[in-house]
Structure 1
Amino acid sequence: MPHVVTVLGSASSHSRSANLLERVELPLAQRSIESVRVEIRKLAPDALLGGDVAHPQIAEAIAAIESADGVVVATPLYKASYSGLLKVFLDLLPRDALRCKPVLPLATGGSLAHLLAVDYALNPVLASLGAEHIIGGVFATEADMRQLAGTFELSPSVATRLSEAVDGLAQIIEDKQDLRALRCRPPSVHVSKEPSTNACAA
């Protein structure tokens, strides 16, 4: 079963950013794509801040990223940038940790004034880690996610954008699975032996 790693860069497990991840994980599960959550706040703080990639918790989180078929990153925006928690974690990833993986960035902020932080602050870092395809991110303000009875009510416009983004992520993953299945068919089935020009197709 293909799987996606969802990374939470919030200091709270019940934040708007966490709620966005939950809204991603459910439709992925309905398409038989498993989600593995990495909550950075739960990783050993000394190892995280000290850059100890050999620490079991850090090593496990990095291995999960490297073996994933796709990655979803959710973060609150502070001072027009993504969270410090996420920054520290991304700095520990190998240079090609996101190579050949579709990545969906999600962000929450107080107002639309922070909208461009995803494009100008987060996406370049994801690209530097080798992300094959960065799907158009979803940004939600506090007005887009009103707190209601212990959860958050998503505005129709953000709900639509999030649904489209998840569909795009799932489709890329499913297409890759189909290609791998094609290449793994028994010899009796004719498959072109022409070498792929896309290093990420294998």
Structure 2
Amino acid sequence: MSNSIVIISGSPNATSRLNGIVDFIRRELDQKGYPSKQITVVTLPAEDLVHSRFGSPAIVEANRLVEEASAVIIASPVYKASYTGVLKSYLDLLPQKGLEGKLVLPLFIGGTLAHLLSIDYSLKPVLASMGARHFIRGVYATDNQVERIQDGSSETKFEINEELAERLQASAQELIDELSLRSRVSQ
């Protein structure tokens, strides 16, 4: 297993503030020599997700990325105290032990701090049932920490506030440190 990282983004919205967080963490990892690949669940064929088509080429390819990764970042907005249904639809298509031996970094964003524990109470039990045992300190952000920037271009840009940026940088560094440690141990 390499030091590859895959990000599973569970936002159903193309302009979600979650994209600002995912972009930020990708840049952090890339700048430190840890490029990542991304699975944007909403771009997978809806029919495959809804009808649990395990053999669909798009699902097989997405699952291959997860299988080959040493680390999986799972990102989602929080709706009704939990991660999105589209993310759950994809997680259901991963093999039962598809996260075994992988480092897992959860990234959530919600409207208020009221859902701060959604990572621990809604996501981690599902991931643990799939073999996840080593969680990197997750990051929960609120919408007001990620600002949409309208600059006239067709692409939505985001600005992350300083406190959130520091927490994301710390989690990215923890992930890198763990990947580096695992590489040294396996040599």
Structure 2 match to 1:89: 90
Q: CA deviation at 1:151?
A: 2.3
Instruction: Give, in whole Å, the separation in 2 of the partners of 1:156 and 1:4.
Output: 25
Per-residue deviation, 1:28:
1.2
Partners of 1:100 and 1:168 lie apart in 2 by 16
What residue in structure 2 maps to residue 196 of structure 1?
none
Contact persistence 1:73–1:106 (CA under 8 A) = yes
Stretches of 4+ moved more than 6 A in 1?
none
Deviates more, 1:132-141 or 1:34-43: 132-141
Distance 1:32 1:2 in 2: 10
Note the C-alpha offset of 1:109. Answer: 0.7
AA in 1 matched with 2:181: D
Partner of 2:34: 33
Report SS of the residue matched to 1:140: strand
Partner SS, residue 78 of structure 1: coil
Letter in 2 for 1:17: L
> RMSD value over aligned CA atoms?
1.3
Instruction: Label 1:106 to 1:67 Cα distance change in 2 as closer, same or farther (>3 A).
Output: same
TM-aligned CA deviation for residue 152 of structure 1: 2.3
Deviation of the 1:129 alpha carbon: 1.1
Q: TM-score, normalised by structure 2?
A: 0.92
* 1:19 corresponds to: 20
Deviation at 1:42, TM superposition (A): 0.7
Q: Which residue of 1 aligns with 2:121?
A: 120
State the one-letter code of the partner of 1:23. F
* 2:161 matched residue in structure 1: 155
Alignment of 1:140 with 2:141, yes or no, is yes
**Contact (CA 8 Å) 2:100, 2:130: kept in 1 or not?**
yes
Q: How many residues align?
A: 181
Partner of 1:4: 5
Tell me which residue corresponds to 2:109. 108
1:73-129: per-residue Cα shift (whole Å, max 9, x none)? 110100111000101111111111111111100011111111111110011111111
Q: TM-score, normalised by structure 1?
A: 0.85
Q: Which runs of 5+ in 1 are unaligned?
A: 183-202
Residue-by-residue CA offset, 1:29-85 (whole Å, 9 max, x unaligned): 122222111010111111111111100000110111011010001101001110001
AA at the equivalent of 1:64: L
Note if contact 1:2-1:32 (Cα within 8 Å) is conserved in structure 2: no
> Is 2:63 the partner of 1:62?
yes
SS in structure 2 at match of 1:86: helix
Asked whether the equivalents of residues 9 and 75 of structure 2 are also in contact (C-alpha less than 8 Å), the reply is yes
- Return the match for 1:179 from 155, 161, 185: 185
Per chain length, whose mean CA-contact separation is higher, i.e. which structure has more relative contact order (CA < 8 Å, sep 6+)?
A: 2
State whether residues 17 and 147 of structure 2, in contact with CA within 8 Å, keep that contact through their aligned partners in structure 1: no
Return the alpha-carbon distance in structure 1 between the equivalents of residues 14 and 100 of structure 2: 28
Any conservation in 1 of the 2:76–2:84 contact (CA below 8 Å)? yes
Matching of residue 71 in structure 1 with residue 77 in structure 2: no
Q: Give the gaps of 5 or more residues in structure 2.
A: 151-155
1:174 Cα deviation from its structure 2 partner: 1.4
